[in-house]
């Protein structure tokens, strides 16, 4: 739609404690480019995004702006400090979104999002007001009690939710307004929308839309980019 304005909020404000480094993980270089830059390049490959708002840890705004200036020309992007939680960061990004019609929220730690996946999410938003990409589980899922297996969770009704998540801006704003004053913090935006009583459409995710969470994930991402073979220790192979 020619007059439709789509703004993408790029969540890069996490410190990445599980990543185990002083440097925020989205600023970690992988084959010459940071995860943040790689994610923005993937997002920008779909030409429907009007503007980006990038939320980074406080104190990293200048570095993010320099990285964007060095790697991109002709895109409209604003960098802002995020909050202590994802929910706070996205709320900050939403305030900076201006007169958008559709909001996309993407994890900067997912560097391989494809134009086709973004198109599916946006189509879902146009149909239902909110949409997320998801993958059906292939592993057997278990519920824990302490350090012991308590029960097996039926996987036919369980999906793994990815990003970008997409919303009509009025839907996302209503969800954040409904969450004001609540002590419960949601892990993603679709949780807020569901908690506010609004539906979320599920579209097909992609296996390679992986999220870098721990240090070992960098080796997988590097292997994919460079085409090199992963090396496993003897204990990993057994």
Distance CA 42, CA 51 (A): 14
The DSSP 8-state label assigned to residue 26 in this structure reads: G
Centroid of chain to Cα 151: 30
Q: What is the pairing mode between strands 33-34 and 29-30? A: antiparallel
Structural domains in the chain, sorted by start:
6-237 (3.90.550.10)
Please count the CA atoms within 13 angstroms of the CA of 200 that sit on its side-chain side. 21
Distance CA 183, CA 101 (A): 29
> pTM for this structure?
0.90
Distance CA 40, CA 216 (A): 22
Question: For 227, left (φ over 0), alpha (ψ -120 to 50), or beta?
Answer: left
DSSP string covering 118-131: HHHHHHHHHHHSEE
For CA atoms 88, 134, 101, 113, the dihedral sign is positive
Q: With the CA atoms of 119, 218, 136 and 42 taken in that order, what torsion angle do they form, in degrees rounded to the nearest 10?
A: 0
Could you read off the pLDDT of 211-228 as tens digits, one per residue?
Answer: 998 877 887 788 778 776
Q: What is the pLDDT along the chain (238 residues), one digit of tens a residue?
A: 668 999 999 999 976 555 555 688 899 888 899 999 999 999 999 999 999 999 999 999 999 999 999 999 999 999 999 999 999 999 999 999 999 999 999 999 999 999 999 999 999 999 999 999 999 999 999 999 999 999 999 988 899 999 999 999 999 999 999 998 887 788 899 999 999 999 999 999 999 999 998 877 887 788 778 776 656 554 444 4
Q: Which residue, 124, 141, 140, is CA-closest to 132? A: 124
Distance CA 67, CA 32 (A): 12
Are 122 and 105 a contacting pair, CB within 8 Å?
Answer: no
């Amino acid at each position: 739609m020619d007059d439709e304005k789509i703004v993408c909020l790029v969540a890069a404000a996490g410190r990445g404690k599980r990543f185990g480094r002083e440097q925020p993980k989205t600023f970690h270089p992988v084959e010459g480019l940071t995860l943040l830059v790689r994610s923005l390049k993937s997002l920008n490959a779909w030409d429907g995004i009007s503007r980006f708002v990038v939320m980074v840890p406080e104190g990293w705004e200048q570095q993010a702006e320099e990285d964007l200036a060095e790697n991109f020309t002709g895109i409209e992007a604003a960098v802002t400090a995020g909050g202590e939680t994802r929910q706070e960061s996205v709320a900050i990004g939403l305030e900076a979104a201006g007169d958008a019609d559709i909001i996309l929220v993407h994890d900067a730690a997912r560097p391989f999002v494809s134009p086709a996946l973004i198109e599916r999410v946006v189509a879902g938003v146009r149909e239902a007001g909110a949409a997320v990409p998801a993958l059906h589980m292939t592993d057997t899922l278990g519920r824990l009690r302490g350090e012991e297996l308590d029960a097996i969770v039926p996987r036919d009704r369980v999906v793994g939710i990815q990003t970008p998540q997409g919303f009509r801006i009025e839907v996302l704003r209503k969800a954040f307004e409904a969450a004001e004053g609540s002590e419960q913090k949601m892990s993603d935006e679709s949780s807020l929308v569901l908690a506010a009583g609004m539906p979320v459409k599920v579209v097909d995710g992609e296996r390679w839309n992986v999220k870098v969470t721990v240090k070992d994930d960098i080796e997988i991402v590097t292997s994919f980019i460079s085409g090199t073979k992963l090396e496993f220790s003897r204990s990993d192979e057994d």
